[in-house]
Structure 1
Amino acid sequence: MKYGYIERERRFLLLVLPNAVSTSTHFRCINDWYLPHGTLRLREVRDAAGTVLVRKLTQKVRPAATPLTHTQTTTLYLSAAEFELMRLLGGASICKRRYNLLMAAGELGIDVFEGNLRGLVLAEMEFADDAAMQAYSGPDFLHQEVTHNPDFQGGRLAQLDAQDLKDLMSQYTQSSHPKRSS
């Protein structure tokens, strides 16, 4: 893998926002477009005031025989003109606010989704190595790990409407689930 890197990540469903997030005005607005028929994602990140921070094209691919926690990630940073040209390709989109909480194990990203996915809140933690990833238990506000459910990956989420999200969430909210299994 010459230009990319292996991203180790675990993803969790939240049913309530932690206080540090619900009262925070420090977030980034993320708009993602998943290009049709492939593994490419366009992302535009803005600060809370609406200023563009970054535009990029990312490919995330899971190498054969690796767990859903591992993706090969390659990113290209784009100018405004390049980004707008790529947007012409269309694709399903996601809009979310990302809050970052500094934890002992690293930075926990908490995504509060908007639009068709309003009501969905996910947390993601990236890890430098497999041992740290496996040892992570996370704070109590993490309701259920959903890392191993591909329906909670961005490209799939972008395809959902409000009813699809309700159906997906019902699998995790009708009964108590331990946060370490998915």
Structure 2
Amino acid sequence: MTNFEIERKFLVATEWLVPTESPSSHLRQAYLSPLGSGNEIRVRAKGDARLMTVKAPDENGDPLVRREVEFPIADEVFEQLWVLAGQDRLSKRRWSVPLGGVTAVVDVYEGELAGLRVAEVEFDGVDAARAFEPPEWFGEELTGDPAWSNRELAARGGGRHPKPGRGR
């Protein structure tokens, strides 16, 4: 069954500090789909969970919506696919920050992308996503900009992530 991911993505203001009570987890992600293919195939390690995810653009072209299929995979399969992904990998610490009726997940990237902080907020529907008023600690909106996708960031790494101001 295909699920839908409805989210908005933002840079995080440099002066923002992670609230001490916010839970976090470490994630490792590797991308198996060709850069620019439109569809994204990735594997993720989060705690003891190993997942494969396939994401595709919305059939109607709405940048807020992506089709998503996700399922667990064995540790051995994850490790084999991690190696096959080559350099198209990234690691980050993900913080969950409550924002009233929704939760922002703030990704603080590690390694070659260290210093980059991005917030994503998922919604139950497109109307709720469009009505969302970001808090002051959110910076520039990145929703729908392929230069800021995790797939793109993993491929470029090395401090070559895009600069604010949309695009590359």
Category of TM-score, reference length = shorter chain: 0.7 to 0.9
CA RMSD of aligned residues (A): 1.9
Counterpart residue identity of residue 28, structure 2: N
Q: 1:61 to 1:142 in 2, by over 3 A?
A: same
Question: Does residue 71 of the first structure (1) align with residue 66 of the second (2)?
Answer: yes
Of 26, 29, 33, which aligns to 1:32? 29
Question: Does residue 137 of the first structure (1) align with residue 133 of the second (2)?
Answer: yes
The Cα of 1:32 is off from its aligned counterpart by 0.3
Counterpart residue identity of residue 169, structure 1: K
Matches within 5 A, 1:118-129: 118-129=114-125
Q: Which moved more, 1:105-114 or 1:33-42?
A: 33-42
CA contact (8 A) 1:96 1:113 kept: yes
The TM-score with structure 1 as length reference comes to 0.80
1:7-57: CA deviation from partner (whole Å, max 9, x where unpaired): 1010000132633x16457310000000142621000012xxxxx2x1000
The Cα of 1:170 is off from its aligned counterpart by 5.0
Match of 2:142 in 1: 146
1:65-104: CA deviation from partner (whole Å, max 9, x where unpaired): 3222110000010121232233342240011000001111
1:136-176: CA deviation from partner (whole Å, max 9, x where unpaired): 012100011111211111110111233422xx22537xxxx
Name stretches of at least 5 consecutive residues in structure 1 with no aligned partner.
47-51, 173-182
- Report the 3-state secondary structure (helix = DSSP H, G, I; strand = E; otherwise coil) of the residue aligned with 2:81: helix
Question: Does residue 171 of the first structure (1) align with residue 168 of the second (2)?
Answer: no
Match of 1:115 in 2: 111
Higher Rg of the two aligned structures: 1
- Report the 3-state secondary structure (helix = DSSP H, G, I; strand = E; otherwise coil) of the residue aligned with 1:159: helix
1-structure distance, mates of 2:100, 2:23: 20
Of 45, 50, 59, which aligns to 1:55? 50
Counterpart residue identity of residue 9, structure 2: R
Structure 1 moving runs of 4+ over 3 Å? 22-26
- Report the 3-state secondary structure (helix = DSSP H, G, I; strand = E; otherwise coil) of the residue aligned with 1:16: coil
- Report the 3-state secondary structure (helix = DSSP H, G, I; strand = E; otherwise coil) of the residue aligned with 2:58: coil
Greater helix share, structure number:
1
2-structure distance, mates of 1:45, 1:29: 6
Pairs aligned (count)? 161
CA contact (8 A) 1:116 1:160 kept: no
